[in-house]
Amino acid sequence: MTEKYSLKQSADKKLSKNFTVKEFACKDKSDTVYIDTALVSLLQRLRRILKKPITINSAYRTKAYNEKIGGAKSSYHCKGQAADIVCSGKTILQIARTLEALGAKGIIMYTKSNFVHTDTRSRKYFAKNNGKPEEVSTFFNTVTKNSTQNQIKGVQERLKAKGFYKGKIDGIWGAQTEYALKSFQKKNKLSTDGICGAESWGKLYI
Ligand SMILES: [Zn+2]
């Protein structure tokens, strides 16, 4: 649901634990600010998991301002449904993956300018943009027994954190790792294929 605020009256109004109205205001200082409550909720959940302040570079944009900066025509920013964000100490890949795990539908990782755009659109659209957008199905790598040691370590670490793996974080895909992953998949009602793909990562990552 999109709410309308006045920057003059509500600049410091708290929308959630860590976000205020002024952070979502248009950079042209327009008084009216539109903010989707679902976007605030998404950013607050992201904040809680990353445990670091999130800086909003741009959220609501008036049509005039959006045109001025060359934004997309039917930009979600103009509806108060989008935010361009960074988080100190976290890479844009970590931000994108956390958003994916949280179930965000719109995620664009701007690899050149180093920020993440997220929005509350209803149909999934994930992309990497390095000048022009390239659609992707997930921000996670599929990890199998044939993956690199570091990738396998990443899976072992998360399985351990979730209490499914008791062995060493050695990057070796043994019977213990496979069993732990399959148990985790079963518990989460995923197909127990022993392959760590986007769905398993989504549950493992946060
Ligand atoms: Zn954006």
CA of 116 to the centre of ligand 1 (A): 8
Are 105 and 44 found together in one domain? yes
What is the token pair recorded at 204? 């493992």
Q: Which CATH number characterizes residue 173's domain?
A: 1.10.101.10
CA of 109 to the centre of ligand 1 (A): 10
15 is a domain residue: yes
Q: Which residue type, as a one-letter code, is found at position 103?
A: G
Are 101 and 45 found together in one domain? yes
CA of 22 to the centre of ligand 1 (A): 17
206 pLDDT more than 90: yes
Are 87 and 127 found together in one domain? yes
Using H for helix, E for strand and C for coil, what is the string for 114-137?
CEEEEECCCCCEEEEECCCEEEEC
CA 199 to chain centre: 15
Q: What backbone torsions phi and psi does residue 55 show, to the nearest 5 degrees?
A: -100, 125
88 pLDDT more than 90: yes
CA of 169 to the centre of ligand 1 (A): 38
CA of 80 to the centre of ligand 1 (A): 11
CA of 58 to the centre of ligand 1 (A): 7
29 is a domain residue: yes
85 pLDDT more than 90: yes
Average pLDDT over residues 29-37: 97
CA of 118 to the centre of ligand 1 (A): 7
- What are the tens digits of pLDDT across the range 161-194? 999 999 999 999 999 999 999 999 999 999 999 9
Average pLDDT over residues 38-43: 98
Q: Which residues span the domain enclosing 94?
A: 2-136
Are 62 and 25 found together in one domain? yes
Q: What pLDDT, on a 0 to 100 scale, did the predictor assign at position 19?
A: 98
Are 64 and 129 found together in one domain? yes
pLDDT averaged over every residue in the chain: 97
Q: What pLDDT, on a 0 to 100 scale, did the predictor assign at position 61?
A: 98
CA of 120 to the centre of ligand 1 (A): 11
Are 40 and 97 found together in one domain? yes
CA of 198 to the centre of ligand 1 (A): 24
Using H for helix, E for strand and C for coil, what is the string for the chain?
CEEEEEHHHHCCCECCCCCEHHHHCCCCCCCEEEEEHHHHHHHHHHHHHHCCCEEEEECCCCHHHHHHCCCCCCCHHHHCCEEEEEECCCCHHHHHHHHHHCCCCEEEEECCCCEEEEECCCCCEEEEECCCEEEECCCCCCECCCCCHHHHHHHHHHHHHCCCCCCCCCCCCCHHHHHHHHHHHHHCCCCCCCCECHHHHHHHCC
What's the domain count of the chain? 2
Average pLDDT over residues 31-41: 98
Are 61 and 110 found together in one domain? yes
184 is a domain residue: yes
What is the token pair recorded at 83? 């935010």
73 pLDDT more than 90: no
- What are the tens digits of pLDDT across the range 118-160? 999 999 999 999 999 999 999 999 999 999 999 999 999 999 9
Percent of the chain residues past pLDDT 70, beyond the cut = 100
CA of 144 to the centre of ligand 1 (A): 34
Please tell me the pTM assigned to this model.
Answer: 0.95
